[in-house]
Amino acid sequence: MRLVKDDPSGGGVLKRLLPTIATLLALAPPVLAQGLDLSDALKALPSTLDWQSADLSYESAVRQLEAALAAQGLKLSGGADYTLREGSGSGLTVSGTASLGVLPWSSSADAVRSAERALERAALARREARNNLYIALHTQYFNLRQAQADLALAQATLALRERQLQIVTAQNQAGSATLSDLLTAQQNLDTARSSLLSAQGALELARLTLAGTLGLNPQQLGNPTTPPEEPSLPDEGLEALLQRALASRPDVLRALSQLRDAEENLASAERNRLIPNASVTVGYSDSGSTLSAGLNLKSGTASLSAALPVGQATSSTLSQGYSLGLSLSVPIFDPVSDSSIRTAQTALQAARQALETARRAAELDVRQKYQNLQTAQAAIAAARAALNTANQNLRTAQARLQAGTGTSVEVQAAQVSQLQAQRNLEAALIQAQLAALALQNALGADLTAALGGK
């Protein structure tokens, strides 16, 4: 079998590759001169729609707490009463009433405590949504870097397959390569062309995804310039991490808040069943003017009322002096209240089970994320060793070419292998960095604290 050697100068190879290079340049998407740094992309997160939507949900909970606090405060009302009587003239009386929830079990106080816990849960939901956006942006940013690396690798592979087909075609014409070898080379070229089209589509999709998250035009989106960083495991042991997660994770804290809601609801239902509907009123009247103060034990509300006659057509004997009024109503048979207590007890049991489920799920999630980070770190070492091997193979191929015992296509193939190894190492670093972020999120950390959100 006679081998056809390449031109060591590479001049002939370059001439044959010029049409392919021109085609690739025409198909490749426009490269923007301005790069996109990861820190700049993260700073743009607070202006995205998803971030603002999370803020609006939190602001809604703030408004609800403000309304509950306002309902708990002092309330004033005024009124007037005009009476026209046949034979006795007419009279106009103006009145005013002030009321305030003073007892800790008043309905307004219950509403405030409920709104406070709702605000806590809204803050947890906002932190959770922000963390998800933070991780999603990292993923999309590095997906774009990977898509660019895949496109460069596909372009290099296509150029290699075209060169290999040219060599096999020449060998076939010289009788040193079979038709099967020629068909295999042609199939490899077709596969490389298909991979190039797939890489171009993936790159466009990755660019559109990141631009959509940031609210930018894809044509205005610069190329990602920040490489991934190799993370390290937390200094704390796994058991300490589990304890930190149970104290900080939004899902666990949300389940704990809902348990407190259930406890408050049960206490309120039992209180409504046991406390009688009792009220006391103290009043004073003089010449038609009255002043009275009252306290409702069941609702926990104190009130103060005053009435003043503005004018009367005829005078009459008006009562004068103090008055004391007491009223009491004790529930003896109240199936509605009893049913409310049973419902609250069932809800409390469900909330306790939900909290236990959340804690178990949190422990499992932290263990899994911790293991994922360890696995990703091990993959980095393997990818780095593969890159060292690819670098050595490239140096060997270059040395063989200079010594006249190798070909330029062997060097080209080694360059493609090195490009593939570099891509694999960056992919391993990306997976490790994302795994570290996922672990911090599983521990309940606030990933976006440095972004300065409200």
The pLDDT value recorded for residue 295 is 83
Beta partners for residue 79, in sequence order: 95
The pLDDT value recorded for residue 23 is 42
Distance between CA 42 and CA 46 in Å, rounded?
8
DSSP string, 380-403: HHHHHHHHHHHHHHHHHHHHHHHH
Is the sign of the CA dihedral 353, 355, 359, 365 positive or negative?
positive
pTM, two decimals, is: 0.79
The end-to-end CA distance of the chain, in Å, is 75
Distance between CA 375 and CA 432 in Å, rounded?
8
Q: What percent of the chain has pLDDT over 90?
A: 59
Cβ atoms < 10 Å from Cβ of 427: 19
Are the C-beta atoms of 231 and 435 separated by less than 8 Å?
yes
Distance between CA 437 and CA 449 in Å, rounded?
14
Out of 21-25, 226-230, 298-302, which region has the weakest mean confidence (pLDDT)? 21-25
Q: Is residue 415 over pLDDT 90?
A: yes
DSSP H/E element including 326: strand 321-329
Q: Any alpha helices (H) in 293-407, and if so which ranges?
A: 335-403
381-411 tens-digit pLDDT: 999 999 999 999 999 999 999 999 989 999 9
The pLDDT value recorded for residue 310 is 79
Cβ atoms < 10 Å from Cβ of 391: 15
The structure tokens 């171009």 sit at: 200
Are the C-beta atoms of 278 and 297 separated by less than 8 Å?
yes
Are the C-beta atoms of 171 and 177 separated by less than 8 Å?
yes
117-130 tens-digit pLDDT: 999 999 999 999 99
Which pair of structure tokens corresponds to residue 86? 């046949």
Are the C-beta atoms of 210 and 136 separated by less than 8 Å?
no
Q: Which residues neighbour 121 within 8 Å (Cβ) at sequence distance 6 or greater?
A: 61, 254, 257, 258
The pLDDT value recorded for residue 2 is 35
The pLDDT value recorded for residue 399 is 95
Are the C-beta atoms of 108 and 296 separated by less than 8 Å?
no
Q: Which domains does the chain have, with CATH numbers?
A: 46-309+318-329+337-443 (1.20.1600.10)
Q: Which residues neighbour 268 within 8 Å (Cβ) at sequence distance 6 or greater?
A: 105, 110, 344
The pLDDT value recorded for residue 115 is 92
- SS3 of 137, please? helix
pLDDT band (50, 70, 90) for residue 25: very low
Q: Is residue 349 over pLDDT 70?
A: yes
303-321 tens-digit pLDDT: 888 888 876 544 444 567 8
Which pair of structure tokens corresponds to residue 282? 């103290």
DSSP 8-state class, residue 445: -
Distance between CA 257 and CA 367 in Å, rounded?
24
Tell me what percent of the chain is helix, strand and coil, each rounded to the nearest 5.
65, 15, 20
178-237 tens-digit pLDDT: 999 999 999 999 999 999 999 999 999 999 999 999 888 888 888 999 999 999 999 999
The pLDDT value recorded for residue 95 is 82
